[in-house]
Amino acid sequence: MKKIIIPVAAIAIVGLVAPKFTGSAINEGLDNFIASVNSAPGYKATIESRETSWFSSSAVVKVGIDPAMFADLGLSDSDMENFENLSAKVNVTAQHGPFLSLNGLGLGLSAWKAEVDESVFREFLTYAEDEKFYSVKGGVNLFGSASFEDKMPSFTVISEDNDGEEIAVSGWNGQGTLSSSNASYSGLTESVKLVAEGVTFEIKAITLESKIEGDWMAAMRSEFYDSVGQFGIESISFDMPMMDTNVKLDNLLIDVLTEKSEDGKLMDIDMDYSIKSIDMPDFSGRDLLIKSEINNIEQAFAKAYQEASAKPAQMEQAMAEIIETKLLPQLQASPEFNITEMSGKVGEGNFSGMFMGKVTGVDALPQPIDDPAFWASKAVVDSKLKLDKAMALWLGQQVVTSQIQSNPNAAGMTDEEIKAVAAQQVDGMIEMFTQQGMITVTADGEYEMTFTMQDGQAVLNGNPIPLPF
């Protein structure tokens, strides 16, 4: 009998005592969340009320835009009131485990949900009466890991003038996980559509996926973190028949990776952009790709710049302070901007290339700060661009067309006449650039340009070139 009573008693103790500790953890987490929001530039959050009992907790949280970031823009009182009203009340309810029923029967440390008020944005948007504009629910399992789901309903924007304009969004559905070692999130909006007089604009399948390794609150505190993420759009279409304009883009992907240094003071960011196809008047592209890197970002510099960006009216003064106090440590970290790969097909032509650039060896800032000779001596550049003949002709024609259009003597020419003249001149222009050494022709008939610079010495296609300073 004792062998049965002891585990039953232990379960009873956990069932009675654990909820109180879990409730304390929920409230502590809520306080930490509020502090993180308030530390992020441009946002503010307050807890308007809170109740805690043995088996449950509840709170009303007000989250909004901080009007202080617009205080120096010289806006009227009525405009400032609009920013004051850009907030929402979030009703938070939590149930303390281990026995849970708030989001369905189960075992865990807690279950919770947060919903904005039913009235939020109804003066601007139309959505189902039985829906909240935003809600999220989740729970913490017995091992301390959390999972959650959030959603927004389908909605349309209310037209002020009843002019037939309609903006419709299919809503949002997302899900994520949180633990002491990582966080992940994914979400989907199926469509966004705008229909107005003579214009149709539609985006299909907006997706977001992200994962943060380590302390997931670091991002909200403007600290560096390790992460991977992807933003995708299946298609974008824009149609304006009256202007004979139609644009179609398929499969846009943006992949982002961040990696901090061991001491957390520096971070590298990789951003890759790809488009499967894009078609518009006078332009078509296929398999377009750009892989870029920004390396050795210094945390104090990045945080100061983020804070300055949240106050546009004070940006000039803030940037002066950043240059004076934060720029040198950033430069001493040898920042880099690289395009490790770019390629694609435009029309019938193909291109590929790369660009590697960094600033190194800076011990002190120059006076004046914009001394070009100083920056040239500290810059290291290695770049290459390769075009096949079809691509070179297309690009050359765009350059010649632009030159003709900017010539006042060509004001009476039609687009077709300008294109015809450009087509006649482009071969001569490419030949001239080749003779001048600005581009070279490879053995397989492709056009290539290489440019390097180090220690203030510039080299174009293997030939030293003088700098204008």
What is the distance between the alpha carbons of residues 30 and 45, in angstroms, rounded to a whole number? 11
Final residue belonging to a domain, choices 243, 260, 277: 260
Read off the pLDDT of residues 53-90 as tens digits, 9 standing for 90 and up. 888 889 998 888 777 666 666 666 766 666 666 778 88
- In a domain, residue 440? The reply is yes
Range of the domain at 417: 389-445
**384 in a domain, yes or no?**
no
Does any domain span residue 413? yes
Write out pLDDT tens, residues 273-324.
Answer: 999 999 998 899 999 999 999 999 999 999 888 888 777 777 788 888 999 9
Q: Which pLDDT value is given to residue 239?
A: 93
Average pLDDT over residues 423-430: 89
> What is the percent of the chain where pLDDT is above 90?
50
The angle at the Cα of 182, spanning 178 to 188, to the nearest 5 degrees, equals 60
Domain-located, residue 202: yes
- Report which of residues 160 and 355 the model is more confident about: 355
**CB neighbours of 456 closer than 8 A, spacing ≥ 6?**
373, 376, 377, 467
Last residue of a domain, one of 204, 226, 260: 260
- Look at residue 220 in the predicted model and tell me its pLDDT: 67
Residue 127 lies in a domain: no
| Mean of all residue pLDDT scores within the chain | 87
Would 411 be classed as within a structural domain?
Answer: yes
What average pLDDT does the segment 243-271 reach?
A: 94
* 196, 165 Cβ separation under 8 angstroms: yes
Is 138 a member of any domain?
A: no
- Residue 134 included in any domain: no
The predicted structure's pLDDT at residue 1:
45
* Count of domains forming the chain: 2
Average pLDDT over residues 188-206: 93
* pTM of structure: 0.86
12-28 pLDDT, tens digit each: 555 555 565 566 677 78
Q: For 87-91, 354-358, 378-382, 439-443, which range has the lowest pLDDT when averaged over its residues? A: 87-91
Total number of residues shown for the chain: 469
